[in-house]
């Protein structure tokens, strides 16, 4: 059946306006053997854009390991699901909302939170935690404070209202994000392992049911916006940013979970990017069925909307359900009790076509495969390009520089400074599962009724990826896993947000391909499958791309909450030691990147050296030592190296009262490079003197490097060089003042 | 003891209160949907925190019209215990069961933190067994927790021993640094004239287990338990 009415005739010019290429337009004509209607063109533009089709990334994403022990659901669904024992599973995913958040920070961030929450409860899980990963421009960029405050209030406003704690995350400032911030949000939920719901339009004749908020003209072309770069016209796109209604989301969440408890639900999908279009097409695609939609019954918030507008609206807080025939009234009863609009808007067909009707006329009639499996797939050209200097930026810094002022400068920098002004705006404890405030290496959430806890972290280092995409990819996965191991948790699986520039540029595609390869290798070596993920391309403004910024969101399991550690020192007189790869020096001289950046404003050289086998050994020792009860604290060396790690462990002690007396171990290289060097695979631990003896035996037996470098003392951080010469002596009060005031000018 | 926990659309601390009363305290609690008309014979009522009706219009302003609020008002008028926590406190002031109002925090944004409060009177069923001098550590999580009332009302609250909790330092001292939201007289919680209806901004249900960082909130629940028994 061909559409009876042609709306405005489509043509190449309109196709180009919709972000399709000339080749893509030609391919549509060839496949359909006719011109598409305007509604159909809208559907193509929504399904074939980068955001929905992954057309530039799919060939590379296949490299990720996606299976393994405990994987109940891998990529391709609304979220990944991992078995956590006792009949329970964790569903989790991370997503970006970068472009909308730059244009309208509050609503952009808020609706990003809303979208990822829906992805989780769609699977049948009750969301229990949110984490964010934020990248802003330089702290002194005039737009930065506005964007930071808007994004943080948006996340806070939405997450707090829905009653899901925001338990962790990270925030980093760099001028490469001046014109294109990153807002990545991760959500995790708990569910029964044997009751996973999928976005499947199965069962010919079953009803397609629309629930949630009404449909309006808001957000039309949101997905297309996310698939193009930025220029001066970006702010004209402000009306395509949706407005979130967290209250409605909370009702939708409760109503959907109640429906899932009752049975009769066949499939469910969130109407996210490209709303009704992607929800119906993807559900039919997965089930190998077709869908007919009758738009007359879709609940609306404004009059006179065209089928084109219905299909492309990105009004928030809406879901599409497939229910078993005959159970419609049961579904209706639940949603009406929650005061939510509900309507039967179509049914599942066997013709593998997506058909859209309104007022008895057909507006679209397309084969589903053409929009899903047969969507364009590009293996874009790759040409690596070295963009930062290869020389170590340390060379520009006087080797005799005082370490004390440098450490204070690092702590007072917004990147290493205390993020309390951000997370104090997040309700991080609602649902009473959160074990301790944000700011640790990973967030821990107890699982009520068991001894277990989930460990969650987000992490990423764009500078490493810019310097060497392959190594940067490995390091991102390794550090996220190390974060979890520092709490005593075993990494289970990960999700990611791959934020990159314009994929049509061969240098960007080269970054992407290498980062994915590096990540995939680390995932294999550390046994962490990728079960969900998201790609965000076109993070560029005026043709300038952001640094390649893959963010890893990792989930781990702590078997016994009584055996866990935080990063903070906790007893005076405890031994402080480093765990490191046995075939390396305890510290390495190179890779003092954040230090060089803060002190000299320079970047370059190589990212830290990493051997994944050693990384696995270091993490394994740390976890087992925590499980054995040997360690009092554990904290990985990251930005700012040993210096910043020591300060952070001391600042996290009770009342920030414990300092440390440290001797920098004998190693090759200049002292500032060793002290601030970001050597990978290093963990700073503390233990009682008695436990430390046992721990050292354990490390020796496992052939992992372990060296005591000092002990905890009250009130002062004192560091001497390998030859005993005093390197720095700082009062904890001064460290606290520098650290706690770091975000003062921004928030 | 059987406690009714009212569930409004947008309540999100209902499950936490339920967990505190049942799992931690070993008592019975029933979640009561706001469209119900009766409390099912409960001996005490908790109006939990959250964002009922999204805090749209004004925090608590729409919830006061829910059918269950008639039953809550009757329960209160009979002198039986009612506790409103956070959004529940806002609902109780909006519905006139408690005087005054909760304005936006002085800093104008949401605050989630641990604070100390000291108990000013043991005359309510929720503070009966609390030692007055010892500060309690409890979390707050709100944007509109800045208690305000007119000067006459504040005098009456003071004269009638209606101020139940005040924000304080770890040593129990009153000062503006220890007051997170700018409330009048550092008020964190009040009661009605009779003392049976209590509203407070801090979340006692989040401070009932050592894993949550404090068990000080449990005393409010043990208080009401002992009040009901006696």
The predicted-structure confidence for A330-362, as pLDDT tens digits, reads as follows 999 999 999 999 999 999 999 999 999 999 999
Flag if B51 and A250 touch (Cβ within 8 Å).
Answer: yes
| pLDDT reading at A517 higher than 60 | yes
pLDDT digits (tens, 9 = 90+) for A667-681: 889 999 999 999 999
Flag if A430 and B10 touch (Cβ within 8 Å).
Answer: no
Cα distance from A161 to chain B (closest Cα, Å)? 6
From chain B residues 187-216, the ones with a CB under 8 A of any chain A CB are 205-206, 208-209, 211-213
A680 neighbors A579 (Cβ within 8 angstroms): no
Any chain B CB within 8 A of the CB of A435?
yes
Any chain B CB within 8 A of the CB of A424?
yes
DSSP code string of A203-221: STTPEEEEEESPB-STTTT
Average pLDDT, stretch A34-62? 94
Q: How high is the ipTM of this complex?
A: 0.97
Flag if A163 and B51 touch (Cβ within 8 Å).
Answer: yes
| pLDDT reading at A93 higher than 50 | yes
Burial B97-135 (b: 16+ CB within 10 A, else e): bbbbbbbbbeeebbbbebbbbbbbbbebbbbbebeeeeb
Residue A51, token pair as written in the block:
């955001």
Helix%, strand%, coil% for chain A, nearest 5: 35, 25, 40
Residue A725, token pair as written in the block:
């010469």
Q: Where are the beta strands (DSSP E) in A231-286?
A: 265-270
Nearest to A247 among B56, B109, B213 (CB): B56
Euclidean distance between CA atoms B162 and A25, whole angstroms? 73
Cα distance from A746 to chain B (closest Cα, Å)? 14
Residue A186, token pair as written in the block:
């991760």
Any chain B CB within 8 A of the CB of A432?
yes
CATH assignment at residue B215: 3.40.50.880
Euclidean distance between CA atoms A652 and A658, whole angstroms? 9
Residue A155, token pair as written in the block:
């996340």
Average pLDDT, stretch B39-45? 96
Strand, helix or coil at A233? helix
Q: Which has the closest alpha carbon to A226: A384, A53, A398?
A: A53
- For A428, the closest chain B residue by CA position comes to B112
pLDDT of residue A729: 98
pLDDT digits (tens, 9 = 90+) for B49-66: 999 999 999 999 999 999
Euclidean distance between CA atoms A110 and A150, whole angstroms? 9
B162 neighbors B156 (Cβ within 8 angstroms): yes
| pLDDT reading at A723 higher than 70 | yes
pLDDT of residue A230: 67
A552 neighbors A448 (Cβ within 8 angstroms): no
pLDDT digits (tens, 9 = 90+) for A297-338: 999 999 999 999 999 999 999 999 999 999 999 999 999 999
| pLDDT reading at A4 higher than 60 | no
- For B18, the closest chain A residue by CA position comes to A431
Flag if A250 and B113 touch (Cβ within 8 Å).
Answer: no
pLDDT of residue A225: 59
Distance (Å) of CA B82 to CA B3, B39, B211: 10, 12, 27
How would you classify the pairing of strands B187-191 and A182-192? unpaired
Contacts with B211 from chain A: Cβ below 8 Å? 435, 446, 561
| pLDDT reading at A240 higher than 90 | no
Euclidean distance between CA atoms A666 and A722, whole angstroms? 5
Mutation for testing the A interface, residue in B7, B8, B12 having most A CBs under 10 Å:
B12
| pLDDT reading at A140 higher than 60 | yes
CA angle centred on B142, ends B135 and B219, rounded to 5°? 35
| pLDDT reading at A223 higher than 80 | no
Neighbour-count burial of A385, counting CB atoms closer than 10 A to its CB (0-12 exposed, 13-18 middle, 19+ buried): exposed
Which residue reads 């421009």 in tokens? A137
Q: Which has the closest alpha carbon to A510: A541, A472, A459?
A: A472
Spell out the residues 6+ positions from residue A514 whose beta carbon is closer than 8 angstroms to its own. A384, A469, A470, A473
Q: Where are the beta strands (DSSP E) in chain B?
A: 2-7, 28-33, 44-47, 82-85, 101-103, 111-119, 136-142, 146-148, 163-168, 187-191, 197-200
pLDDT digits (tens, 9 = 90+) for A532-565: 999 999 999 988 999 999 999 999 999 999 999 9
Residue A8 pLDDT class (50, 70, 90 cuts): low
Euclidean distance between CA atoms A314 and A306, whole angstroms? 14
pLDDT of residue A222: 63
CA angle centred on A146, ends A140 and A151, rounded to 5°? 115
From chain B residues 5-24, the ones with a CB under 8 A of any chain A CB are 9-10, 12-13, 15-16, 19-20, 23
pLDDT of residue A126: 98
Euclidean distance between CA atoms B42 and A663, whole angstroms? 64
End-to-end, the C-alpha distance of chain B in Å comes to 12
Flag if B212 and A429 touch (Cβ within 8 Å).
Answer: yes
Residue A232 pLDDT class (50, 70, 90 cuts): low
pLDDT digits (tens, 9 = 90+) for B99-146: 999 999 999 999 999 999 999 999 999 999 999 879 999 999 999 999
Flag if A153 and B109 touch (Cβ within 8 Å).
Answer: yes
Residues of A with catalytic roles: 51, 97
Phi, psi of A531 (to 5 degrees): -110, -5
Residues of B with catalytic roles: 86, 203, 205
Which residue reads 């807002």 in tokens? A183
How many structural domains are present in chain B? 1
Spell out the residues 6+ positions from residue A371 whose beta carbon is closer than 8 angstroms to its own. A43, A44, A47, A48, A281, A285, A354
From chain A residues 310-339, the ones with a CB under 8 A of any chain B CB are 337-339
pLDDT of residue A252: 97
Contacts with A148 from chain B: Cβ below 8 Å? none
Q: Which has the closest alpha carbon to B22: A261, A128, A432, A562?
A: A432
DSSP code string of A374-391: TS------------S-SS
Rg of chain B over all Cα atoms, to the nearest angstrom: 16
Flag if B111 and A424 touch (Cβ within 8 Å).
Answer: yes
Residue scoring higher pLDDT (A241 or B173): B173
| pLDDT reading at A73 higher than 80 | yes
Beta bridge partners of A545: A540
Nearest to A426 among B19, B51, B112 (CB): B112
Helix%, strand%, coil% for chain B, nearest 5: 30, 25, 45
Domain that holds residue B13: 2-229
Flag if B112 and A338 touch (Cβ within 8 Å).
Answer: no
Distance of CA A695 to the CA centre of its chain: 34
Strand, helix or coil at A659? strand
pLDDT of residue A217: 87
Flag if B54 and A161 touch (Cβ within 8 Å).
Answer: yes
pLDDT of residue A6: 44
pLDDT digits (tens, 9 = 90+) for A264-277: 899 999 998 889 99
Euclidean distance between CA atoms A584 and A605, whole angstroms? 20
Average pLDDT, stretch A620-644? 98
A211 neighbors A342 (Cβ within 8 angstroms): yes
Share of chain B above pLDDT 70, in %: 100
Flag if A427 and B110 touch (Cβ within 8 Å).
Answer: yes
How many contacts does A have with B, using Cβ atoms within 8 A? 81
Spell out the residues 6+ positions from residue B153 whose beta carbon is closer than 8 angstroms to its own. B99, B100
Cα distance from A429 to chain B (closest Cα, Å)? 8
Own/partner contacts of A506-509, CB < 8 Å, gap of 24 or more, are A506/A380, A506/A381, A506/A382, A506/A383, A507/A383, A507/A384, A507/A385, A507/A387, A508/A537, A508/A545, A508/A548, A509/A56, A509/A380, A509/A381, A509/A382
Nearest to A430 among B16, B35, B56 (CB): B16
Polymer length in residues for chain A? 747
Euclidean distance between CA atoms B95 and B102, whole angstroms? 13
Residue A318, token pair as written in the block:
């809406």
Q: How many CB atoms lie within 10 A of CB B174?
A: 13
Nearest to B206 among A162, A424, A432 (CB): A432
Euclidean distance between CA atoms A410 and A9, whole angstroms? 60
Q: Name the strands in the sheet holding A575-580, side by side, starting at the edge strand that comes first in the sequence.
A: A633-636, A683-687, A575-580, A705-714, A658-663, A716-720, A726-731
Question: Whole-prediction pTM value?
Answer: 0.96
Euclidean distance between CA atoms A729 and A737, whole angstroms? 15
- For A424, the closest chain B residue by CA position comes to B112
pLDDT digits (tens, 9 = 90+) for A447-496: 999 999 999 999 999 999 999 999 999 999 999 999 999 999 999 999 99
Spell out the residues 6+ positions from residue B98 whose beta carbon is closer than 8 angstroms to its own. B84, B89, B92, B190, B191, B192, B197, B199
Neighbour-count burial of A675, counting CB atoms closer than 10 A to its CB (0-12 exposed, 13-18 middle, 19+ buried): buried
pLDDT of residue A226: 62
What mean pLDDT value characterizes chain A? 94
């Amino acid at each position: 059946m061909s559409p009876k009415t042609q709306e405005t005739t489509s043509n190449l010019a309109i196709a180009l306006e919709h972000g399709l290429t000339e080749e893509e337009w030609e391919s549509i004509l060839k496949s359909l053997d006719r011109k598409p209607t305007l509604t159909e063109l809208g559907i193509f533009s929504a399904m074939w854009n980068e955001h929905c089709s992954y057309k530039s990334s799919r060939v590379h994403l296949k490299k990720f390991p996606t299976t393994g022990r405990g994987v109940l659901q891998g990529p391709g669904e609304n979220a990944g699901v991992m078995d956590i024992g006792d009949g329970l599973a964790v569903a989790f995913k991370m997503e970006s909302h970068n472009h909308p958040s730059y244009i309208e920070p509050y609503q952009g961030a808020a609706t990003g939170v809303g979208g990822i929450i829906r992805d989780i409860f769609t699977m049948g899980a009750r969301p229990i935690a949110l984490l964010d990963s934020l990248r802003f421009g330089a702290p002194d960029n005039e737009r930065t404070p506005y964007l930071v405050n808007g994004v943080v209030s948006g996340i806070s406003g939405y997450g707090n209202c829905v009653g899901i704690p925001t338990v962790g995350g990270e925030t980093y400032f760099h001028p490469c994000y001046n014109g294109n911030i990153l807002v990545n949000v991760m959500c995790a939920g708990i569910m029964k392992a044997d009751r996973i719901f999928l976005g499947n339009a199965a069962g010919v004749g079953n009803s397609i049911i629309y629930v949630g908020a009404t449909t309006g003209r808001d957000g039309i072309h949101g997905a297309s916006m996310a698939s193009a770069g930025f220029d001066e016209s970006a702010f004209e796109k402000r009306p395509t940013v949706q407005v979130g209604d967290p209250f409605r989301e909370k009702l939708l969440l409760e109503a959907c979970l109640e429906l899932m408890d009752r049975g009769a639900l066949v499939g469910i999908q969130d109407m996210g990017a490209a709303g009704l279009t992607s929800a119906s097409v993807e559900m039919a695609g997965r089930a190998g069925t077709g869908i007919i939609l009758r738009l007359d019954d879709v609940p609306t918030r404004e009059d006179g909307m065209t089928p084109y507008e219905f299909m492309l609206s990105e009004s928030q807080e809406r879901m599409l359900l497939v229910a078993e025939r005959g159970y419609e009234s049961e579904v209706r009863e639940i949603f009406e009790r929650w005061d939510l609009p509900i309507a039967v808007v179509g049914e599942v067909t066997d013709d593998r076509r997506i058909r859209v009707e309104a007022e008895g006329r057909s507006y679209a009639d397309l084969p589903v495969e053409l929009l899903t499996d047969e969507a364009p797939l590009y293996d874009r050209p790759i040409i690596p390009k070295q963009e930062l200097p290869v020389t170590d930026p340390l060379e520009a810094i006087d080797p005799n520089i005082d370490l004390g002022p440098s450490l204070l400068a690092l702590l007072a920098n917004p990147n290493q400074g205390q993020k309390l002004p951000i997370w104090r705006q997040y309700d991080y404890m609602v649902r009473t599962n959160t074990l301790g405030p944000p700011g640790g290496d990973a967030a821990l959430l107890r699982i009520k009724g068991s001894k277990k806890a989930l460990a969650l972290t987000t992490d990423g280092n764009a500078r490493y990826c810019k310097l060497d995409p392959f190594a940067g990819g490995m390091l991102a996965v390794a550090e996220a896993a190390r974060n979890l191991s520092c709490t005593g948790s075993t990494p289970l699986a990960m999700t990611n947000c791959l934020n990159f520039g314009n994929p049509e540029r061969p240098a960007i595609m080269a970054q992407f391909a290498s980062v994915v390869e590096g990540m995939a290798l680390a995932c294999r070596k550390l046994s962490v499958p990728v079960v969900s993920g998201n790609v965000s391309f076109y993070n560029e403004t005026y043709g300038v791309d952001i640094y390649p910024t893959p963010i890893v969101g990792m989930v781990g399991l702590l078997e016994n909450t009584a055996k866990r550690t935080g990063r903070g020192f906790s007893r005076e007189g405890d031994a402080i030691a480093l765990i490191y790869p046995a075939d390396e020096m305890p510290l390495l001289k190179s890779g003092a990147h954040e230090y060089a950046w803060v002190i000299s404003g320079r970047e370059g050289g190589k990212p830290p050296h990493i051997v994944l086998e050693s990384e696995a050994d270091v993490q394994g020792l740390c976890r087992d030592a925590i499980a054995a009860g040997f360690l009092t604290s554990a904290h990985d060396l990251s930005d700012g190296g040993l210096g910043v790690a020591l300060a952070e462990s001391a600042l996290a002690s009770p009342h920030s009262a414990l300092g440390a007396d440290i001797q920098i171990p004998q190693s090759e290289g200049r002292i500032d490079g060793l002290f601030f060097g970001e050597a990978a695979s290093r963990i700073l631990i503390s233990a009682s003197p008695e436990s430390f003896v046992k721990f050292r035996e354990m490390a020796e037996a496992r052939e992992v490097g372990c060296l005591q470098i000092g002990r905890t003392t009250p009130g002062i951080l004192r560091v001497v060089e390998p030859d005993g010469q005093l390197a720095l002596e700082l009062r904890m009060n001064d460290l606290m003042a520098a650290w706690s005031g770091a975000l003062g000018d921004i928030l | 003891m059987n406690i009714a926990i009212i569930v409004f659309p947008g309540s999100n601390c209902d499950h936490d209160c339920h967990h505190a009363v049942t799992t931690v305290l070993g008592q019975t609690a029933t979640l009561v949907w706001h469209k119900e008309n009766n409390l099912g014979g409960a001996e005490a009522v908790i109006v939990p925190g959250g964002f009922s009706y999204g805090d749209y219009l004004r925090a608590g302003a729409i919830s006061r019209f829910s059918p269950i609020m008639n039953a809550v008002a009757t329960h209160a008028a009979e002198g039986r215990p009612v506790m409103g926590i956070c959004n529940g406190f806002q609902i109780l002031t909006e519905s006139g069961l408690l005087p005054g109002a909760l304005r936006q925090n002085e800093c104008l944004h949401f605050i989630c933190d641990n604070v100390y409060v000291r108990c000013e009177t043991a005359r309510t069923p929720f503070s009966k067994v609390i030692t007055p001098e010892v500060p309690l550590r409890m979390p707050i999580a709100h944007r509109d927790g800045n208690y305000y009332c007119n000067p006459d009302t504040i005098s009456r609250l003071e004269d009638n021993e209606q101020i139940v909790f005040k924000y304080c330092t770890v040593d129990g001292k009153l000062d503006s640094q220890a007051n997170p939201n700018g409330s009048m007289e550092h008020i964190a919680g009040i009661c009605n004239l009779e003392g049976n209806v209590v509203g407070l901004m801090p979340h006692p249900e989040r401070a009932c287990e050592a894993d949550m960082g404090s068990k000080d909130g449990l005393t409010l629940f043990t208080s009401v338990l002992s009040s009901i028994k006696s």
